[in-house]
Structure 1
Amino acid sequence: MHRDRPLWMRRLGWALHGFLRFVLIVSLLPYAWAKVFLSQMGLVDYADALYTVGEKSPMGLLWTFMAYSPTVQVLAGLAELAVAVLLVFRRTAWLGGLLGTVALGVVFLLNLLYDVPVKQLALALTVGLLIVALPELPRVARFVAGRPVGGLRQVPPLLPWPRVHAVARWLVPALGVLLVLAPGVGFPLVGGLPQQSSSELPGVYRVVADPAPPAPELAADRRWQEVAFGQWLGATGASRLTIRLANGDLIEGRYRPVRDGVVAVDLYPVLAGDRPLIREVERTVELTWNIRPDGTVALRGAGQDLVLASDPELRYLFDRDFSWAPTVPINR
C-alpha cells in the first residue's frame, strides 16, 4: 500500500484489509466465547477418572489437559477476545494481527500435533492475522532495531464522501465492538453456564460387594468393577457417567435424577475404536441408590445389586490440593 499508487488502488487495498479483519473477527468469536464460558473443552469431571491414557485419542488428551484448569481455558478465550477487539480499530489492527499470529499459531501447532480436525482453519486464521499485521511490520522492525519509526501510516478514507465518512468512522468501530461483545450476553442464555450437582451421589467408586458370580473367563466377565458419577450438569440437566467392567471394557453414559434416590441412566455401547460426537443410546435403565451408615453406596437396578466405596486413588487428580510453597514433586 505505497503512497505512489493510485488512490483507488490504495482504497481498494485498505477495503480488502478491513474485510479480512471482519472475517477474522467473526471466525474468532465462537471459539473465544466458548472458552470463556467453559463450553469448548468443558470441565474435567469424576467421569474422566476411569479413562486410561491409552484409551484417549490425541484430541481427547488435549481437551482433558485444557479442561483440568478453567483458568487456563478462560485466559485463552480472553486472549482471543482481545485480538478480536484490537482488529476492530484500524489503528490497533496491526497489534491484534501480531498477537493473533502468535496465539493462533500456537493453536495451529496444537491442532496439528494432537490431530484436531480444525487444523486447516487454525492455519488459515494464523495466515490471515499475519496479513493484517503486514502493513505495519516494517515500522515494528525499525522500532525493534532502535531506528526512527516515523508517524502513523496515512490511510485514505474508504468513502469519498466526507459527511458519510465522518459518521462511518465512528459508527463502524462501534458496531464492531458490539459484534464482539454481543455473544457474551447471548452465549449463557443459549448454552447456559456450568452448574454443579447438589446430589451426594457424584464421585468415583470401586465395587466392594457384588453377589453375582464371576464369569468362567475374564474376557467374558461383565460385572461392574468401577463406577464414576460426574458432578457437572449439562444443558439437559444430565451428568456424565462411566463404568469400568471386570473384563476391562469401558462404558460411557449420562445420568439424571428422576426422584429422590433414583437416577435414569442412558448407556452408550462399549468404547471401541473411533466414535462420533453424536452417538445412539444403547439402553436406558433406572438405578436406585442410598448412602449407608458406613459411607458406602448401595446401588441397585439393571441387574445390579452393588455396594460402592469411594476410591481415593481413582479420584486423586480431583482431590490433589494446590501448594505455592516448594514441596516434593508428585509426578504420578
Structure 2
Amino acid sequence: MTATLAHWPLWKLFLFRWAALYGLLFFSGGFWNRPWHSLAVWAAKLWGHDLLAQSGPNGSGDTLENYIFCALWLVAALLLALIWSLIERRGTFTGKLAWPAHTLLRYVLGWYLLYYGWSKVFQSQMPLPDLVQLAKPLGEKSPMGLLWTMVGVSPLYQIAGGWAEVVSGLLLLFRRTSLLGAALGAGVMAYVFLLNLSFDVPVKLLSGHLLLYCLLTLVPFLPRLWAFIRGGSVPAMTYPAPPQQPVWRWVGWVWRVLALGIILVLPFQQVRQAHKLYGDWPSSSKLVGIYQVQTDSVAPNQDMSFDVRWHTLVIGDREYGNGNQPPVRRAALTLVNGTRTLGNYQDDPKTSTLTLFMSGNNEAYQYSHNGFGDLVLKSATRQLVLTPKPEGTLLTTRGFHWVNERPLNR
C-alpha cells in the first residue's frame, strides 16, 4: 500500500499534503493563537470590520474570528503544501506518511465523537428543560433554544444519538473497524451538521469539519466500497508492514496504547467532571412552581407600557452547578407590561425568606401561604398574592404512550 501511495499523480499528492497540513492547523488551533489573532485583526480590517468581538470564550465556534482563522489556515496550508511539493517532488516521504496520518485522524475524530457522545449519553449537553424554560413563550425561543428543548424532553432520542457517536468513535480507534466507524461517523455528523444549519447552532464549523474528515477517513477504502456497491468481489485490505527494527515496533505499540488509553478515558472523565461542576439537580426549595399573580399592592398605571405590576413568577425547579461556588437557582418574572426578566433566587426556609435577584434589583420577601394554598409575598414596599399555575409543564410530564385514542397535538 505504501508503494502505491508513492506513485499517486502529483495532484493527488498535493491534495493530500494540503488536507493533512490544514487538518493539523485546524485541530491544533494553529498551534498558537496569538500570531493568528493579529493576522485575523488585519484581515478583518481588509474586509471592513474594524474590530473583532472581544467577548472571550462563550460557547460559540462560529465567530468571525473563527471563520478568518479557517481562511488563514487554508492559505497557510496551501503555501506549505506548495513548498513541500517543490522540495519532495515525486519522493516517497508523502506515501510513508499516508497511514500514520490516517491513524492520527482516526484518533482525533474518535476523541471528538466520544466527548460529544458521552455528553449526550449522560444528558448533560441538552438537559431536561426547567420551569423557567417551560414558561417562556414559544415565539421568544431562539432556534437553538427550541432544538435544545426538543432534544432535552426526550431522553431516548438524546441517549440514542449519544450512543451512535460513542460507537462510531470507538470503532474509529481501531484500524480493522475504522471503515465501519468512519461510515457511521459520517452519517451521524451529516445529521448533526444539518441540525446545526437548520437551528442556527454555532458549531457549524466544527461539525462541518468533523463530517469532512470522516469522509476523508473513508478514502483508502473507496475501491473496496465501490466493488461492494457494484456487486463484484471485494479484495482484502492490505496495510503497510510494521517496522522491521524491534525498537521502532516497540515505540509504535507504546504510543498507540498511550493514545488509546487517553482517548478512551479522558473524554468520559471530562464529561463527568463537567456535569459534577456545572450539572443540574432538583431544587430543594418547596416554593418551586409557576405562579399567576392575583393581587399586587403596586398601583396600576393607565399607560400599560409603564405598568410594573407582576403578572407571572417562575421559581425554578433546578439547581445549576457554578464551579466551586454555591449552586444557582433560576427564576423568571413577567410584568403586566410584558417585560420578562431572568434572574436567580434564594430560599431560606428557616426565616421564610425568598430573595429575588433580578437584573441588579435584589429584594427579599417574607413568604407564607393563605387558606387557599396561595403564596403570599411581603416586602417593605410590596405585598403580593400568587396562585400556583399547574399548567405549563405538559411538555415534560406527558410521557410516552403506546396507545393513543386520539393525538394530543397542542
| Interval of TM-score (by shorter of Structure 1 and Structure 2) | 0.7 to 0.9
Matched, 1:25 2:110: yes
Distance change >3 Å, CA 97–CA 304, structure 1 → 2: farther
- The residue number in structure 1 matching 2:186 is 101
CA contact (8 A) 1:10 1:156 kept: no
Letter in structure 2 aligned against 1:39 = S
| Counterparts of 2:363 and 2:114, CA distance in 1 | 40
Structure 1 residues 288 and 183, CA, compared in 2 at 3 Å: closer, same or farther? farther
Q: Residues 347 and 353 of structure 2 are in contact (CA less than 8 Å); yes or no, is this contact kept in structure 1?
A: yes
Q: CA shift at 1:177, angstroms?
A: 4.4
2:303 pairs with 214, 217, 232, which one? 217
Measure the CA separation in 2 of the matches of 1:144 and 1:292.
73
Aligned length, in residue pairs: 318
Cα deviation per residue 1:294-324 (whole Å; 9 max; x = unaligned)?
3222223484422222223333323324321
One-letter identity of the residue aligned with 1:37: F
Give the 3-state SS of the residue equivalent to 2:321 in structure 1: coil
Q: CA RMSD in A?
A: 2.5
**Cα distance per residue 1:237-294 (max 9 Å; x no partner):** 22221111111111111223345332333223xxxxxxxxxxxxx3333333334443
Displacement after TM superposition at 1:27 (Å): 3.4
Letter in 1 for 2:233: P
Residue 317 of structure 1: aligned partner: 395
Aligned to 1:182: 266
**C-alpha displacement of 1:102:** 0.9
Q: TM-score, normalised by structure 2?
A: 0.70
1: CA distance between counterparts of 2:198 and 2:271? 30
- Aligned pairs for 1:22-171 within 5 A: 22-157=107-242, 159=243, 161-166=245-250, 168-169=252-253
Higher alpha-carbon Rg: 2
* Match in the other structure for 1:201: 287
Question: Does 2:377 match 1:299?
Answer: yes
Residue aligned with 1:309, SS: strand
Residues 11 and 304 of structure 1: CA distance in aligned 2, closer, same or farther (over 3 Å):
farther
Residue 82 (structure 2) aligns with: none
Q: Classify 1:185/1:27 alpha carbon distance in 2 versus 1 (closer, same or farther; 3 Å).
A: closer
Partner of 1:274: none
Unaligned residue ranges in structure 1 (runs of 5+): 269-281
Q: Normalising to structure 1: TM-score of the pair?
A: 0.85
How do 1:265-304 and structure 2 match up within 5 A?
265-268=356-359, 282-301=360-379, 303-304=381-382
Code of the residue aligned with 2:346 in structure 1: it is R
Q: 1:49 to 1:40 in 2, by over 3 A?
A: same
- Name the aligned partner's letter for residue 32 of structure 1: G
Q: Shift in Å at residue 173 of structure 1?
A: 4.5
Contact 1:285 1:302 in 2 (8 A): no
Alignment partner, residue 279 of structure 1: none
- Unpaired runs of at least 5, structure 2: 7-91
Question: Between the two proteins, what is the percent identity of the paired residues?
Answer: 33
Structure possessing the higher relative contact order (Cα contacts under 8 Å, 6 or more residues apart):
1
Structure-2 separation of matches of 1:75 and 1:302: 52
C-alpha deviation, 1:186, in angstroms = 4.3
